[in-house]
């Protein structure tokens, strides 16, 4: 039995199918975003999370409905995994009035407080102290809510990360810090930016747990996050989880993979979380391939519907510039 199959053994077929559905929906959504970007419909840059779907879906499914999430600009998948409306997300990415932020945030700023999704952020590592402040506020208010914060390996090299680790460990703040280590910060490979082989070991300097896991094994991501969330909720404080993953496509839809080698591409495709989980579903869980094909078809249609909705919606114009502004 593979590691993945062992981790999935504790999961019900319903939950497993739900995860598969979410991962495939995110994949199709992101492929559509890349296509629309190529057609010149996305203003500025957009950062696909293709191949990182298991991290978004696995860790978000370990949360309660009241918990809170903050993520990076590579956060479309996290937004969708949290239950964000794909039409409102696509409209936001295309800067339309019907977007979740009325088209003023664009691809890097998705937000929906109604589902506890407090936003994605374009400034590398800036949201790590913000998420921890949110978690501290909830600790002080005794709400029992946990805050989940996702960020990249590049962000783990920023000063804001270390300052935050110190304070959240000291005050036992109920935050779960999930580092999506996809091997690169734009074009800089981790071997040129990290002083340690595993980002998770950095937690030791702050006397908090740090765990490095296979971020493309959705059941392992779920179980590790579930334990960290439980610990945070019970007053045990923060955990740093390093999800080792790959960024299969490119840094952004504008910078089509010009730096990865052919060998690296092949390695990335082998660890792709979707076909890997498909094997678990059709094998030990005996799910019919036709059920999965239906899910893939439905996801493709949902992505197309989201794109059509966004394209039909009016572009956010200068008339709205001064609306919803706090000064
Ligand atoms: C404070 C800051 N410095 C630099 C940048 C430019 N920048 C945008 S993305 C990025 C790479 C970040 O890499 P990582 O944290 O590993 O996340 P990934 O893009 O791989 O998901 C950089 C340096 C920025 N947006 N913010």
C-beta 154 within 6 A of ligand 1: yes
Ligand 1 closest atom vs CA 186: 11
The pLDDT value recorded for residue 256 is 53
Q: List the domains of the chain with CATH numbers.
A: 3-313 (3.40.50.970)
pTM for the whole structure? 0.96
Non-local CB neighbours of 228 within 8 Å, separated by 6+ positions = 62, 176, 209, 211, 239, 241
C-beta 184 within 6 A of ligand 1: yes
C-beta 152 within 6 A of ligand 1: yes
* Distance of CA 68 from the midpoint of ligand 1 (Å): 23
Task: Count CB-CB contacts under 10 A for residue 251.
Answer: 20
pLDDT in tens, 260-310: 677 777 777 778 999 999 999 999 899 999 999 999 999 999 999 999 999
Ligand 1 closest atom vs CA 182: 20
C-beta 248 within 6 A of ligand 1: no
| Angle at CA of residue 307, ends 291 and 53, nearest 5° | 50
Q: Are 153 and 179 in contact (CB under 8 A)?
A: yes
pLDDT in tens, 5-43: 888 888 899 999 999 999 999 999 999 999 999 999 998
Contacts 24+ apart (CB under 8 A), 28-31: 28/296, 28/299, 28/300, 28/302, 28/303, 29/76, 29/77, 29/80, 29/86, 29/89, 29/90, 29/299, 29/302, 29/303, 29/306, 30/76, 30/77, 31/303
pLDDT in tens, 224-253: 999 999 999 999 999 999 999 988 766 777
Task: Give the residue among 228, 72, 257 at the shortest CA–CA distance from 155.
Answer: 72
Cα 43 to Cα 39, 49, 77, 93, 310, distances in angstroms: 11, 18, 19, 8, 13
Q: Are 88 and 76 in contact (CB under 8 A)?
A: no
Name the residue of 73, 128, 150, 154 to mutate for ligand 1: max ligand atoms within 8 A of Cβ: 154
Q: Are 52 and 27 in contact (CB under 8 A)?
A: no
* Distance of CA 226 from the midpoint of ligand 1 (Å): 27
């Amino acid at each position: 039995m593979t590691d993945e199959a062992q981790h999935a053994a504790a999961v019900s077929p319903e939950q497993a199918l739900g995860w598969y559905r979410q991962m495939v929906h995110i994949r199709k959504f992101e492929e559509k975003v890349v296509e629309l970007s190529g057609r010149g419909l996305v203003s500025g840059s957009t950062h696909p999370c293709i191949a990182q779907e298991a991290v978004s879906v696995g860790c978000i499914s370990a949360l309660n409905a009241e918990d809170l999430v903050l993520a990076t600009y590579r956060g479309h998948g996290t937004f969708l995994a949290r239950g964000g409306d794909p039409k409102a997300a696509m409209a936001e990415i295309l800067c339309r009035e019907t977007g979740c932020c009325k088209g003023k945030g664009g691809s890097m700023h998705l937000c929906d407080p109604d589902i506890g999704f407090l936003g994605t952020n374009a400034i590398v590592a800036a949201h790590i102290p913000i998420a921890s402040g949110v978690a501290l506020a909830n600790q002080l208010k005794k709400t029992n809510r946990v805050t989940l914060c996702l960020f990249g390996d590049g962000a783990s090299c920023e000063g804001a990360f270390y300052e935050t680790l110190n304070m959240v460990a000291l005050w036992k703040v109920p935050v779960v810090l999930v580092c999506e280590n996809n091997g690169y910060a734009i074009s800089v490979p981790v071997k040129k930016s990290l002083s340690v082989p595993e980002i998770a070991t950095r937690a030791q300097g702050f006397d908090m747990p740090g765990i490095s896991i296979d971020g493309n094994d959705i059941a392992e991501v779920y179980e590790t996050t579930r334990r960290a969330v439980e610990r945070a909720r019970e007053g045990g404080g923060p955990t740093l989880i390093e999800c080792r993953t790959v960024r299969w496509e490119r840094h952004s839809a504008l910078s089509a993979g010009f730096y990865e080698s052919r060998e690296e591409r092949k390695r990335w495709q082998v660890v792709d979380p979707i076909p890997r989980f498909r094997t678990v579903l059709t094998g030990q869980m005996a799910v019919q391939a036709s059920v999965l094909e239906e899910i893939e078809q439905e996801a493709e249609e949902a992505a197309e519907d989201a794109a059509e909705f966004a394209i039909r919606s009016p572009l956010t114009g200068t008339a709205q510039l001064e609306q919803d502004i706090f000064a």
